[in-house]
Structure 1
Amino acid sequence: MSPAGPTPPRASRARTALVIGRFQPPHQGHIHLLRSAASSAGSLVVAIGSADKSHSVRDPFTAGERIRMLHAALDEAGIKATHIIPVDDLGRYALWVAHVQAHCPPFDLVVTGSPLTERLFRDAGVPVETVETVDRERLEATSVRARLFRGEDVTDAVPKRVRDILSEPWARERIDAVRRAAEGEG
């Protein structure tokens, strides 16, 4: 302790970072982003966007299923999230930042790789740290989902424990049912 009192924690470690994504499913690009956010702040809030969406090509998994996958991925990567919060989709960008803020614990900055998320939060006066995306073509959720729908291996794109969950019968059945519905088979 100094004569002036206790030494405050490093400013960056005392902050709370928010990462928001749909995590449909969590993939290695998300892990890169979450690891960067965790190193920038003392605590991490993860918001699962479009939590009300599921059983579709764009959003095949429920919020609860994504939370389970995210816990597995974070645990495997050794990343500690203080909170994982589901946030429903508003479909209105003008209200979205306030909606996220109303559903999440207080946060000091947003860490993102999304230009839209960056712009919306910056315009609302929220500090934003941008993380460069890695291998976007392979590690983009749209590509990962397309590979899942084609029955292809996604070992290179998702954490092992997420792959294990995606291999469970219920997940394979969901992927197959969504694919069939999209193709007009059911």
Structure 2
Amino acid sequence: MHRKDSYALAVVIGRFSPFHNGHLALVRHALALADQVLIVLGSAAQPRTVKNPFLAAEREQMIRACLPDAAARLHFAALPDNLYSDQAWVTGVQRAVDASGAPATRVCLVGYEKDESSYYLKMFPQWRLEPFALTQGQVSATQVRDILFADLLETADGKTPATEDFATQPLALKKPDAGRDMLLASWLPAAVLDFIRAFRRTDAFEQLVREHTFLQTYRSQFVGLKYPPIFVTVDAVVVQSGHVLLVQRGAEPGKGLWALPGGFLDANERIADAVIRELVEETRIKVPAKVLRGSIKASQVFDHPGRSQRGRTITHAHLIVLEDSPAGLPEIKGGSDARRARWVPLAVARNMSESFFEDHGSILEHFVANL
């Protein structure tokens, strides 16, 4: 039975990656306002990255461990990102709230405006916004991740790796020092700190340290520039006989993840030429370049500012539809920086969101949804 002065449901939206003391205060505030609390976990159904190192189920585990007395009042919905459709994302949140059965007039949204990423708080006018004031000096999840992954990789002679070292020599993982643990202990609830300590012993943690070090080293090349570079890349969505051509990345960032064949535009190259060049380099596809070019059916620019952790990267993706052949799918072989190439049934590829690099799943869906 609800209290007369409370909401039926408080909605809290975030990535909580990881769940820190500020998040804990936020959820406790929501519990004080409403009978039930729905926590919408963003960035679900995607691979581990430095920005999103923990799976949705792991983040739910952290939160529940921090609030055992409120277990019956906490509910969770894992929601994937949708970089190119705010309305699709908003609809996902609305569906999660509708499923709770709470009357719309007794639903509130609880949150705080930390930066430009908080614009989503204004996208639900049907619910009253209950703002939450952060404590001065409150830590951010970005700071926690930096402390968690930074300065833990070294070369055999004890130096910080350069970008080229990732491909040319073995790199060793250093043991975190006591000072780092003390800082994390001041920022994180005890249950989350326990989770982090166990996570450090996994292969996933080691790979994230490698990726964090690579990205920091890569981005350091551009520190101090008046105008940070904007990178231009190309990607090829090659389809034939109900299959799409994918490559597995062989290097950081995203080592081991599946991607569309593609890469950076050369300085003196036209975009269509770059698409064919990268496609051939990465897949060794046994189709003449003239046929590949003539099979381009559509193109689209994908330019979300957050689509790549390497920096501002705008890609020009091209749909290449090859005619069905009695000989079957063209022969392919991973080349360049691709570990391997593979023809994947479209029905399988469209459900590989947890294995795709950056926004390549969204790019694929854009082109093949209506094929």
TM-score (norm 1): 0.82
Pick from 203, 206, 210 the counterpart of residue 180 of structure 1: 210
Q: d(CA) in 2 for partners of 1:174 and 1:116? A: 32
2:121 pairs with 1:118: yes
AA aligned opposite 2:51: R
Q: d(CA) in 2 for partners of 1:11 and 1:96? A: 32
- Match of residue 28 from structure 2: 35
Pick from 58, 70, 77 the counterpart of residue 65 of structure 1: 58
Q: d(CA) in 1 for partners of 2:49 and 2:36? A: 32
AA aligned opposite 1:146: D
Cα pair 2:19 2:59 within 8 Å, conserved: yes
- Match of residue 130 from structure 2: 129
Partner deviation per Cα, 1:69-110 (whole Å, 9 max, x = no partner): 1111222xx444331221111222233222111134245111
Cα pair 2:38 2:74 within 8 Å, conserved: yes
- Match of residue 78 from structure 2: 86
> Quick check: which one's helix share is greater?
1
Q: d(CA) in 2 for partners of 1:85 and 1:128? A: 19
- Match of residue 21 from structure 1: 14
AA aligned opposite 1:111: V
Q: CA deviation at 1:43?
A: 1.0
Q: Secondary structure at the match of 1:12?
A: coil
Q: Secondary structure at the match of 1:39?
A: helix
Unaligned runs of 5+ in 2: 151-175, 215-251, 256-371
Q: Secondary structure at the match of 2:133?
A: coil
Q: d(CA) in 1 for partners of 2:2 and 2:66? A: 28
Q: CA deviation at 1:170?
A: 5.5
Q: d(CA) in 2 for partners of 1:72 and 1:79? A: 10
Cα pair 2:7 2:108 within 8 Å, conserved: no
- Match of residue 190 from structure 2: 160
Partner deviation per Cα, 1:54-73 (whole Å, 9 max, x = no partner): 41011001111111111112
Q: d(CA) in 2 for partners of 1:166 and 1:131? A: 27
Deviates more, 1:29-38 or 1:143-152: 143-152
Cα pair 1:35 1:79 within 8 Å, conserved: no
Deviates more, 1:53-62 or 1:92-101: 92-101
Partner deviation per Cα, 1:114-139 (whole Å, 9 max, x = no partner): 342321223xx22111101224x542
Root-mean-square deviation (CA, aligned residues, Å) is: 2.3
Cα pair 1:18 1:47 within 8 Å, conserved: yes
AA aligned opposite 1:132: A
Q: d(CA) in 1 for partners of 2:205 and 2:189? A: 18
Q: Secondary structure at the match of 1:129?
A: strand
- Match of residue 5 from structure 1: none
Cα pair 1:118 1:130 within 8 Å, conserved: no
Distance 1:133 1:172, change over 3 A: farther
Distance 1:142 1:44, change over 3 A: same
2:146 pairs with 1:149: no
AA aligned opposite 2:46: K
AA aligned opposite 1:149: F
TM-score (norm 2): 0.43
> Quick check: which one's strand share is greater?
2
Cα pair 1:18 1:46 within 8 Å, conserved: yes
Between the aligned residues of both structures, percent identity stands at: 28
Structure having greater relative contact order (Cα 8 Å, sep ≥ 6): 1
Larger Rg: 2
Deviates more, 1:99-108 or 1:81-90: 99-108
AA aligned opposite 1:158: L
